[in-house]
Amino acid sequence: MGVLDGVRVLDYGRFIAAPWCAALLADMGADVVRVEKREGGEDRWVQSVTDSGEGGTFLQCNRNKRSLTLDTSTAEGQEVSRRLVERADIVVANMPAAGMRANGLDYETLRAIKPDIILASATAFGEGGPYSERIGFDGAGQVMSGAVSRQGLPEQPIRTMVPYADFGTALTLTIGVMMALYHRERTGQGQHVEGALLPTAMMLSNAFLIERDLLGVDKPRMGNQGASVAPCDLYRTSDDDWVLLQVAGQPMFKRWCRLVGRPDLFDDPRFADDDARWKHGDELNAIMAAWCAERTKADALAELEAAKLPAAPMLSTQEVLDDPHVQAMGYLQRVPFPGTAKDVPIIETPFRMSATPGEIRTRPPLLGEHTDAVLAEIGYGAAEVTGLRDRGIV
């Protein structure tokens, strides 16, 4: 039994922020209905990996959901949506405020239908400012947060390929939804929970903004080197692979000095603390690079582990799939899906609870797979559903 059994969620989300929030709610037992266009949401077809065209991120973000197709631009479609809201606890959506209003998904409209509804909305920039009506994907949050200006190569800023602003917004939105459910349980009142890409990205890079504001400095872009400590980098090994090491604090630095045979660095004033070591990081990173160049990845990692230094191998995507720890922990669960060469490795619920764990119970839905069942639950008879389908409403 999931902790959210009996909670009903309408997922009008697209791409990552809203759908991943809804997926986490579904993992915990909520009944989540994904409402999408008759031709499928745009996010369904990105990075296609199935015979019918579903993409990898779609498969991750839509497990445990049911699919209803609906044209909400029509009066009949809006009536279906109204009936869905009447029996829902949470509505999840991501679009600018104007789009929310046009689709009848703004909080005032939803609250008029169901006073204790919880609306969870994800936008690019948040509501109430000069950018609120702009659209934007994960990259907008990254580049406008100040983070990208600090990362990459000296001559080339590089945004992170992993969409951390999107997934981070999904996580903060999920936290907000759970707080809103707790508040509603105590007071009977619903509310609007808002998440946005820009403040999420700013949260993750807030230390850079604090450093700039208080000290008036921006550290240069330094590739894979540390932003505040040294030695810290990705180092090439003798078998042409890569190892990450991050050294912070005096005890760890002393252990590293002994490991690389340089105890003379203990009392060098250039390396007196983390800030000083960062300023002179080129010398420390050069020592570590030379040390790794004489060892295979396996040997380097074994010696670093024995010295109790925080190191890790750089893994390829295949190496992640094959990793014994990943397999033993069950982080990736194999889920069958029509039209794939083999079962799909989908990440489990990204937190574990001892009494009420999340669970991948069902595969992601095919387009409109549950339309008839969902409409029947809100009072539509078989003939009415046929009529809606004939008129292009579902």
Find the angle CA(313)-CA(319)-CA(324) to the nearest 5 degrees. 85
DSSP string, 128-161: SSTTTT----HHHHHHHTTSGGGSEETTEE---S
Check residue 130 and give its pLDDT.
95
6 burial class (0-12, 13-18, 19+ CB within 10 angstroms)? Answer: exposed
Q: What residues does 9 pair with on adjacent strands?
A: 32, 90
With residues binned 3-state (H G I as helix, E B as strand, rest as coil), the percentages for the chain, rounded to 5, are: 45, 15, 40
* Residues marked as catalytic: 166
Distance CA 389, CA 69 (A): 10
Check residue 21 and give its pLDDT.
98
Same topology, domains 8-204+327-391 and 242-313? Answer is no
Q: Which token pair is 21? A: 């929030």
**Chain mean position to CA 81:** 27
Check residue 88 and give its pLDDT.
98
pTM, full prediction: 0.95
- Asked if 385 and 372 touch (Cβ cutoff 8 Å), the reply is yes
| H or E segment to which residue 33 belongs | strand 31-36
Distance CA 126, CA 129 (A): 7
CA dihedral sign, ordered 363, 32, 58, 45:
positive
Distance CA 47, CA 65 (A): 20
Distance CA 63, CA 344 (A): 11
Distance CA 249, CA 277 (A): 10
**Residue where the block lists tokens 């990254």:** 142
**Chain mean position to CA 290:** 36
52 burial class (0-12, 13-18, 19+ CB within 10 angstroms)? Answer: middle
Residues 6+ apart with CB under 8 A from 29: 1, 2, 3, 4, 5, 6, 7, 356
242-313 in CATH: which number?
Answer: 3.30.1540.10
* Annotation: CATH topology of 8-204+327-391: Rossmann fold (3.40.50)
Check residue 73 and give its pLDDT.
86
Nearest to 202 by CA among 212, 192, 193: 212
**Residue where the block lists tokens 């990898």:** 56
Phi-psi category of 266—alpha, beta or left, where left has phi over 0 and alpha has psi -120 to 50?
alpha
Q: Which token pair is 44? A: 């369904």
CA atoms within 13 A on the CB side of 205: 25
The residues of the chain scoring below 70 in pLDDT are none
Domain boundaries, the chain: 8-204+327-391, 242-313
Distance CA 53, CA 351 (A): 30
- Asked if 334 and 345 touch (Cβ cutoff 8 Å), the reply is yes
- Asked if 190 and 118 touch (Cβ cutoff 8 Å), the reply is yes
Regarding beta strands 232-236 and 242-246, do their DSSP bridges make them parallel or antiparallel, or are they unpaired?
antiparallel
Distance CA 60, CA 55 (A): 9
Alpha helices (runs of H) in 45-163, residue ranges in sequence order: 56-61, 75-86, 97-102, 107-113, 138-144
